[in-house]
Structure 1
Amino acid sequence: MNSAPATVRGVQGDIDPGQLGIVDAHDHLFFRSPLLAGQELDDVDLARQELAAYAAVGGGTVVQWTPYGLGRRAAELPALAEATGVRIVAATGMHQSAHYAPQLLAARKTDLAEVFVRELTEGIAGSGVRAGLIKVAGGFHSLDAHARWTMRAAAEAHHATGAPIAVHHELGTGALDVLDLLCEELEVPAHRILLGHLNRSPDFVVQRDVARSGAYLAFDGPSRANHATDWRMPDAMAALAEAGFAHRLLLGGDTTTAGARSVSGGPGMPYLLRRVRPRLTEALGKDVVEQVLVANPAAAFAVEWR
């Protein structure tokens, strides 16, 4: 019996991975958290303008890592994709506990994996949009009880659907602990794991160990909160490419506040292609940068869905 072809689950339906074009592999169109009060990404028209600006410099796809309960506005995403021509991939999952009211966490204690599976296979409530990845998060050099709970649920949902798991690493730390839990204990294949923010802890030894596992390393920038690591990113990525791990690299913008959008005066999504891409081309060469922006995300997000 032949298996189904691998596809990327977009907000308008499943996509042939060869049709993604240039991919911003980690970003946010909408995001709302009590930790970022007054800086919410919740304006639909500004989201449309940002996508249009990204498309104007050659962007083809955006993967939104905003998980359950943080203002994803999933119902708005298909119309935004239609209006701008930019493909969008939405996320299920759950962030660190500090982003949520205690009563919301308590309400999901017994059915978190079920929520993830339902959003991946049936759709996010009130939207008809199916998620294409699972987003979870670790802590600073640690995995607390909340992180272990959400990662266990993510692993269960992965085994039920095949969906990739994307991980927020606080200040870029804890990646090896995440791999120990997800791969060794919970038996998630490493190539189905995307480890975010690894440029924010520029430890080349850890980065090589992560790449050697088969997981993807998602570098994101520019980052106001972690600007000191932005200038190290080309060297880190070049070192990994020279070590034979160019096929494990992803790139994203991670726009998390309203002021960070390009249409609001920040760098935003277009900056990845206007400024970051030329800088990376100097360090890695044009062919490797093309691989990072096109071929790698096509492989990372494509799933033989179950």
Structure 2
Amino acid sequence: MRRVRTVLGDIRPEELGVCDAHDHLFLRSPRLPGQELDDVPAARAELAAFRAAGGAAVAQWTPYGMGRRAADLPALSRATGVRIVCATGLHQAAHYAPEVLEELSGDRLAELFVAELTEGIGTTGVRAGLIKVAGGFHGLDAHARRTMTAAAEAHHATGAPIAVHLELGTGGPDVLDLLCGELGVPGERVILGHLNRFPDPVVHREAAAAGCWLAFDGPSRAHHATDWRMPEAVRALAEAGFGDRLLLGGDTVTAGARSVDGGPGMPYLLRRVRRRLAAAVGAELVERMLGEHPGRAFGADWK
């Protein structure tokens, strides 16, 4: 029977509720110096604001070694009433010091992912509920292939879903060829993030036809087509028969992007994106994208 693995334990998919399918409560990277998400009170306030806007769950895609603060997540979930799904996995090499990657050489990467999914993250007892990996710009480098191979091994061992950061929305076909082709991961167990940043309708349809979940995640930045092209892309996919493969997320990656610090933050997804999409494709589909679909995407037959 499928269950969503939250930081407070496994729940039925239908219990997840309105979900921000891709976001970050905590995140630290050498590529974002001085912009870390590393403040527990701010994270609590952001979750409370999301809850007040009607949110019930958040999938935090922050993977291993990027300051995900797994030990703090259960208390935050209890205090705010928002369910949290935590990630294992590994981001692009640029987000890590060389010695961190050296420690995870050989088969140790897949072993780490499996351990964090089944036994818990370090000594916290918090089990991850998804595997986060990342592609490169219009392709996959050796690091991406290695991390995705380890993610596929961990998926086959546990049943966990794999969430993929697509750099500026590109590289989707290469990810499909590797994960779903060569490595045998079923499309329905793969969540592709940021496709909305590179709104190629052919790539979108190919990914959806492979059974993958398409996460439209993150408010627009100056160089992204995220918001103004999103309704068109979602409508095209729905009209092509792929409305049941869609997710919505906020992807807050810096402190200044939090709503409690003056940015759009997690509530923006429900305050603005929900309304804008409903005008284009109808409220019924949008509510399924926020409610029913995340439970299906993150639910797994855990082994």
Q: TM-score range by the shorter chain?
A: over 0.9
1:263 to 245, 260, 264: 260
Quick check: 1:21 aligned with 2:21? no
TM-score by length of 1: 0.98
Quick check: 1:207 aligned with 2:168? no
Per-residue deviation, 1:291? 1.0
Aligned partner letter, 1:24: D
Per-residue deviation, 1:226? 4.1
TM-score by length of 2: 0.98
Q: Percent identity?
A: 71
Q: Secondary structure at the match of 1:266?
A: coil
Quick check: 1:239 aligned with 2:236? yes
Which deviates more from structure 2 when the two are superposed, residues 87-96 or residues 282-291? 282-291
The residue aligned with 1:285 is 282
Aligned partner letter, 1:9: R
User: Separation in 2 of the partners of 1:41 and 1:116?
Assistant: 23
Per-residue deviation, 1:259? 0.2
Question: Contact (CA 8 Å) 2:198, 2:225: kept in 1 or not?
Answer: no
The residue aligned with 2:138 is 141
2:86 to 87, 90, 101: 90
Q: CA RMSD in A?
A: 0.8
What pairs up with 1:1-306 in 2 under 5 angstroms?
Answer: 5-110=1-106, 111-224=108-221, 226-306=223-303
User: Separation in 2 of the partners of 1:54 and 1:225?
Assistant: 24
Per-residue deviation, 1:223? 3.5
User: Separation in 2 of the partners of 1:227 and 1:88?
Assistant: 27
- In structure 2, list runs of 5 or more residues that go unmatched: none
Q: Secondary structure at the match of 2:27?
A: coil
Q: Secondary structure at the match of 2:241?
A: coil
- In structure 1, list runs of 5 or more residues that go unmatched: none
Per-residue deviation, 1:34? 0.2
Q: In the TM superposition, what whole-angstrom CA distance separates every residue of 1:262-295 from its partner, at most 9, and x where no partner exists? A: 0000000000000000000001101100111111
Which deviates more from structure 2 when the two are superposed, residues 195-204 or residues 228-237? 228-237
User: Separation in 2 of the partners of 1:46 and 1:15?
Assistant: 26
Closer, same or farther: CA 53–14 of 1 in aligned 2, 3 Å: same
User: Separation in 1 of the partners of 2:226 and 2:16?
Assistant: 28
Q: Secondary structure at the match of 1:69?
A: coil
User: Separation in 1 of the partners of 2:271 and 2:141?
Assistant: 38
